[in-house]
Amino acid sequence: MLQKLVAPLLLLVSYSSTITAQDTQSSSRSSWPSCSARTQHLSDPPYQDYFYSDCHVDAQAVVTSPLPGSDLSIIKPRFLVAWPAGNSGVCTLFQPQSGKAGSLAIELVNSTLGAPLGPVYSKSKCKGSANPIVGVEGVLSFNDSAELPTAILGSVRNIRDFTEGGYLSPIIQAGINVTKFQKTGAQISRLWLDNVTTTTFTLVPWKNNHNHIQIDNTTLRFGAGLYRFSASFNYPQLTQLTPSQLLNEQSQSLAKQHQETVSSLSFFSYTEKLLAGGWRFLTYFGRDSMISALLLQPVLSSSAVEVVIGAALERVNRRDGSVSHEETIGDYATYVNLQNGIASTAAGFTYQMIDTDYYLPILMARYFNSSPNRITPLLDTKAGSINVDNLNLTWGDLSYATASKIMNITAAFEQNQTVDNLLTLKPGQNAGQWRDSPYGLANGRIPFDVNCALAPAALYAISSLAAKPSVYPNNSMTQTWAAIAAQRAKIWEDKTLQFFQYNMTTETAVARLAQYTSKSTFYDGPTNGDSVSNYSTDGMIIDYGLAINSPTTPEVIPITHTDTAFRHYLLNATDDEQLTTFINASANAILRPFPAGLSTPIGVVVANPALSNNNDFIGGFTNTAYHGTVVWSWQLALTAKGFERQLERCHGSSNVTDIPSSITNATAIPQFCSNNGVYTALKTAYNRLWDIIEDNSQQLESEVWSWTYSGGKNGTAKDFKFSPLGASGGTESDVRQLWSLTFLSVTRNKSFS
Ligand SMILES: *[C@@H]1O[C@H](CO)[C@@H](O)[C@H](O)[C@H]1NC(C)=O
Ligand SMILES: *[C@@H]1O[C@H](CO)[C@@H](O)[C@H](O)[C@H]1NC(C)=O
Ligand SMILES: *[C@@H]1O[C@H](CO)[C@@H](O)[C@H](O)[C@H]1NC(C)=O
Ligand SMILES: *[C@@H]1O[C@H](CO)[C@@H](O)[C@H](O)[C@H]1NC(C)=O
Ligand SMILES: *[C@@H]1O[C@H](CO)[C@@H](O)[C@H](O)[C@H]1NC(C)=O
Ligand SMILES: *[C@@H]1O[C@H](CO)[C@@H](O)[C@H](O)[C@H]1NC(C)=O
Ligand SMILES: *[C@@H]1O[C@H](CO)[C@@H](O)[C@H](O)[C@H]1NC(C)=O
Ligand SMILES: *[C@@H]1O[C@H](CO)[C@@H](O)[C@H](O)[C@H]1NC(C)=O
Ligand SMILES: *[C@@H]1O[C@H](CO)[C@@H](O)[C@H](O)[C@H]1NC(C)=O
Ligand SMILES: *[C@@H]1O[C@H](CO)[C@@H](O)[C@H](O)[C@H]1NC(C)=O
Ligand SMILES: *[C@@H]1O[C@H](CO)[C@@H](O)[C@H](O)[C@H]1NC(C)=O
Ligand SMILES: *[C@@H]1O[C@H](CO)[C@@H](O)[C@H](O)[C@H]1NC(C)=O
C-alpha cells in the first residue's frame, strides 16, 4: 500500500540521460574501462540496496521504508550511504510530520542524476586536504511531509552504535552543522575529529518551485515530493580489484556466468584488503576474509589470496603474535584515540578473538603449497603502512610471531590432555570465535571449533610451512617445528573431540522435544520425534556440544550446531572409531528436521537448543538471536564442503592432502566408508543439505536470515516462511556478505547424488 502511494511520483522523473551515464553493459564488467560506473540494485524488503563504484568512489546506499506488516518500532524510514574508505557513512533518520508511524515511505528513484545513483566528484577546496570530494547523489521521493531530526555523519561504527545499540555519541553529534543550501535546500555537514575530513549531506527540492526545506535548529522539515540528495566526503579512497584481477585464469568465465555475484565480490575486494560485508562491515575482518579465501581459493587469483594473507599479516600484534579481528579506522579511530586521551588518527586493531590466529597458517600453507615461488616476495614485504606499530618488521616476522604463539599455547595439551589445557576465550571476553554475539556460546568458554578443528589444522599447517625453506627464520626452535607441530597436531586431532561428546537415549530426546515445542515462543509445530530413532546410534543420540562451560565447571553445553563442519573441512581424521561416530552424528543432525535436528525448509540453523533441557539456552537461542536458530549462508557452504571432503576420502579420488602422510594415514580410505549405515547417512545428509541450499538460492548471498512458523501442531514444511533477521527484532543483516559469496566455488558434486 505504501509502495503504491509513491509510485505515481516516478512519472515526474525524466530518465532520458541516465543510461549513458551508467555502465550497464555486462560485457565490460570483467575488465572495466577508465571511469565508467558499475552499479547494482538489490531488493531486500524492507531494505533496498544500491551499489555504486567508479574510478573515484565506492558506495553502498540503503533505503529503508516500512511495508505493510513491518514492525514499526524497528522499521523506520531511513536513508544511509556507506563508503569502504575509512569505513565511513551518512545515516539519515526520517519521520512523518503527521507523527503516524508507518505513514511515511521513501524511495530512491531514477533521474537525470543517475539510475538511481550518480557520482559526486570535485577537487577539494578544503584547507589542509588534498583529497577530492567524492560521493554519490540522486533523487529521493517522499510520499508525505517529513522531518529529519537526526543525522549521523562520519564513521559507520558510530552509525552502528546507534542502529544496533541506540547510542548517539555526544562528541560526534555536537559536530553536526545544519545550514541553508541553494535557497530552498539544506546542508548537514560535520568536520571529522581529524580536523581535515568533512562529510556533507545535502537535500534540495528537485524540479519543484513550491517545496522548500525548513530548518528548525538541527531538524529539517519538508513537504511530500522529490528531493535531490548528495552525500560526499574528502578522504583517501581504496582501489577496487576488477573481476579479472580477482579470479584466476581458469575461473574468468564466472564473471559472465555469475555476473551479480562477482560484482558483489569485486565491491568487497581492494588492493589493500577484502571487506567483510555491506553496509555494516565494509572493512577488514580477519576471520571473515580468511574463511572466504579458503573456500574461494579454487577460483581466486594469487593476487586476491595475497591481499587476504597480507592484510592479516600487516595487522598482527607484534608483541604476542595475535591476528587482528577487526580494524578501527577513519573517524572512529580518532574517536577511540580521543577517548584514550590521545590526539591521533592512527588506526587501531582489536585482538579479542581467539580463533582468528589459526586461520592464518592454514591459509598460508594452502597457498604456499600451490605457489611456493611466492613465499619470499610476500614475506619480505615491509609492514607498517596500515599498522604503524609494525614499522621495521616484515610480514614474515609477523607470520613467525603468530606461529610462535600457536606453538606456545598448544604445547600443554600435548603433554597432558586435560580440560584445563584446552583453549579458552580470553579473560573478560564473552566471545572469541565466529559466534561473537554476547550469548553466542551460551556463556561457554571453551569453544568446539577452536579446539576440535582450528588448533589441530593450524598445527598441521605450521608443520607444513616449517618444512619449507624461508617461511620461518631458521633457528633452533623452528628447526624442530616440522616434526613437533605435526605430532602435536595429531594429538589435538585425536584427543579433543571426546571432551565435547554427550549423549542421551532416544526416549529422553523425544521427551525433551515435546517440552521444547510447548515452551517455544516461535515454534509450535511437530516435534519430529520420529526422526530421532531413524537418525540415531543404537538407541542413543550422540552429539558434540557447542562449547564446554569452563575449565572449573567442565560441563558440555548440549546445543546442536554446525561447527562440526570445521572439522570435516579442515581435518582428515584417522582415528576410525571416533571418526565413524562423529560423521554419523553430524550427518544425523542435518537429517533430523527441526526441532529434532538442524534442518528447516528455510535453511540449516546454526544452533539448536531443543535437546538441551535448559531454559536459559532455549530462551537465548531463538529465531531472533544473531547466532540462534537462524541460518547463516557461509555455514551452509562450509558444511557442504566439509561433507564433500569426507565423501571424497571414500573414493580415493585424491592424493591431495595438507597433512603430511608420514604422520597420519590421511590418504588411506577410512572405515566409515565401508560402514553402509554411516556412509549412507553422510551421502544423504550431503544431498539433503544441497536440496535445502538450492531451495533457498534467493537468500544465499546475504549474511544471515531467519524464519517464522505458522502451522500449529499439524503443520508442514510450507508453514515455514523466510523472514529477514533485522525485521523481526534481531540484528539487521548485511544484504551481501563476503563469505556468503563462497558458493561461487562451493558447488554440488553430482557424483555423490
Ligand atoms: C532505473 O534505472 C535502472 C538502470 O537503467 C533500471 O534497471 C531500473 O529498472 C530503473 N528503475 C525504474 C523504476 O524504472
Ligand atoms: C557550518 O557550515 C557552514 C556552511 O558550509 C560553514 O560556513 C560553517 O563554517 C560551518 N560551521 C561549522 C562550525 O562547522
Ligand atoms: C583537532 O583540533 C582540535 C582543536 O584545535 C584539537 O584539540 C585536536 O587535538 C585536533 N585533533 C587532532 C586529531 O589532531
Ligand atoms: C538545538 O538542538 C540542540 C541539540 O538537540 C540543543 O542542545 C539545543 O538546545 C537546541 N537549540 C534550540 C535553540 O532549540
Ligand atoms: C624503526 O626504525 C627507526 C630507525 O631505526 C626508528 O627510528 C624507529 O623508532 C623504529 N620504529 C619502530 C616502530 O620500531
Ligand atoms: C613463545 O615462547 C617462547 C619461549 O618461551 C618465547 O620466547 C616467545 O616469545 C613466545 N612467543 C610468543 C609469540 O608469545
Ligand atoms: C595433568 O593434569 C592433571 C589435572 O590438572 C594433573 O593432576 C596432573 O598432575 C597433570 N599431569 C602431568 C604429567 O602434568
Ligand atoms: C554416553 O555418555 C556416557 C557419559 O559420558 C558415556 O559413559 C557413554 O560411553 C556414552 N555412550 C555412548 C554410546 O557414547
Ligand atoms: C596416489 O599416489 C600414489 C603414490 O604416488 C599413486 O601410486 C596413486 O596412484 C595415487 N592415487 C590417486 C588416486 O591418484
Ligand atoms: C582431506 O581429503 C580430501 C579428499 O582426499 C582432500 O580433498 C583434502 O584436501 C584433505 N584435507 C586435508 C586437510 O588434508
Ligand atoms: C597407518 O596405518 C597402518 C596400517 O593400518 C598402521 O599400522 C599404522 O600404525 C598407521 N599409522 C599411523 C601414524 O596411524
Ligand atoms: C491434528 O491432526 C490430528 C490427527 O490427524 C487431529 O486429530 C487433530 O484434530 C489435528 N489438530 C489440529 C489442531 O488440526
pLDDT of 12 over the 80 cut: no
Tell me which DSSP letter residue 718 carries.
G
* pLDDT band at residue 29 using 50, 70 and 90 as cut-offs: very low
195 Cβ inside 6 Å of ligand 3:
yes
Integer Cα distance of 555 and 549 in angstroms = 5
Residue 280 and residue 222 share a domain? no
pLDDT in tens, 503-526: 999 999 999 999 999 999 999 999
- What count of Cα atoms within 13 Å lies in the side-chain half-sphere of residue 673? 15
- Residue 84 counted as domain residue: yes
Beta strands in 509-593 (DSSP E): 540-544, 547-548, 556-557, 560-561
What average pLDDT does the segment 587-611 reach? 98
Model pLDDT, residue 11: 28
pLDDT in tens, 336-385: 999 999 999 999 999 999 999 999 999 999 999 999 999 999 999 999 99
- Residue 500 counted as domain residue: no
Integer Cα distance of 73 and 66 in angstroms = 10
pLDDT of 415 over the 90 cut: yes
Residue 368 and residue 434 share a domain? yes
- What count of Cα atoms within 13 Å lies in the side-chain half-sphere of residue 56? 18
Residue bearing the CA closest to ligand 12, atom 7: 714
- Residue 530 counted as domain residue: yes
Q: Of ligand 12's atoms, which has the minimum distance to the CA of residue 712?
A: 13
Model pLDDT, residue 135: 98
In the block, residue with C-alpha cell 517522499: 142
* pLDDT band at residue 662 using 50, 70 and 90 as cut-offs: low
Residue bearing the CA closest to ligand 1, atom 12: 110
Percent of the chain beyond pLDDT 70?
93
pLDDT of 134 over the 70 cut: yes
* pLDDT band at residue 123 using 50, 70 and 90 as cut-offs: confident
Residue 414 and residue 267 share a domain? yes
Q: Residue type for 474, please? A: N
Ligand index nearest the alpha carbon of residue 218: 4
Residue 377 and residue 521 share a domain? no
First to last CA, the chain: 45
172 Cβ inside 6 Å of ligand 10:
no
Domain boundary among 494, 519, 550: 494
How many domains are contained in the chain? 3
pLDDT in tens, 143-180: 999 999 999 999 999 999 999 999 999 999 999 999 99
In the block, residue with C-alpha cell 555519541: 169
* pLDDT band at residue 210 using 50, 70 and 90 as cut-offs: confident
Residue 194 and residue 109 share a domain? yes
Residue 615 and residue 595 share a domain? yes
Residue 334 and residue 214 share a domain? no
- Residue 501 counted as domain residue: no
Q: Dihedral, CA atoms, 507, 512, 513, 517, nearest 10 degrees?
A: 150
Q: What is the 3-state secondary structure (H, E, C) of 338-375?
A: HHCCCCCCCCEEECCCCCHHHHHHHHHHHHHHHCHHHH
- Residue 239 counted as domain residue: no
CB atoms within 10 A of CB 71: 13
**Cβ-contact 665, 562 below 8 angstroms:** no
Residue 645 and residue 530 share a domain? yes
Domain span holding position 271: 248-494
pLDDT of 396 over the 80 cut: yes
What is the rounded average pLDDT for all residues in the chain?
93
What average pLDDT does the segment 125-154 reach? 92
Residue 87 and residue 196 share a domain? yes
Domain boundary among 233, 267, 283: 233
- Residue 539 counted as domain residue: yes
- Residue 385 counted as domain residue: yes
How close is the Cα of 434 to the center of ligand 6, in Å? 26
Domain boundary among 441, 469, 494: 494
Q: Which of 33-42, 530-539, 722-731 is predicted with the least confidence, judged by mean pLDDT?
A: 722-731
CB under 6 Å to ligand 12: residues? 712-714
Model pLDDT, residue 656: 59
Helix (H, G, I), strand (E, B) or coil at 599: strand
Residue 161 and residue 70 share a domain? yes
- Residue 593 counted as domain residue: yes
* pLDDT band at residue 660 using 50, 70 and 90 as cut-offs: low
CB atoms within 10 A of CB 351: 20
Q: Of ligand 9's atoms, which has the minimum distance to the CA of residue 654?
A: 13
Nearest Cα to Cα of residue 135 among 215, 53, 72: 53
Residue 204 and residue 336 share a domain? no
Tell me which DSSP letter residue 212 carries.
-
pLDDT of 60 over the 80 cut: yes
Does this model's pTM top 0.95? My answer is no
Mutation choice for ligand 4 from 169, 177, 217, CB with most ligand atoms inside 8 A? 217
Model pLDDT, residue 728: 65
Per-position b or e across 555-566, b if 16+ CB within 10 A of its CB: ebbbbbbbbbbb
Helix (H, G, I), strand (E, B) or coil at 407: helix
pLDDT of 259 over the 80 cut: yes
429 Cβ inside 6 Å of ligand 11:
no
What average pLDDT does the segment 559-583 reach? 97
Q: Which of 29-33, 338-342, 639-643 is predicted with the least confidence, judged by mean pLDDT?
A: 29-33
**Cβ-contact 524, 709 below 8 angstroms:** yes
Residue 524 and residue 423 share a domain? no
How close is the Cα of 580 to the center of ligand 11, in Å? 17
Residue bearing the CA closest to ligand 4, atom 4: 218
How close is the Cα of 448 to the center of ligand 11, in Å? 27
CB atoms within 10 A of CB 723: 19
In the block, residue with C-alpha cell 581424521: 573
What average pLDDT does the segment 738-743 reach? 96
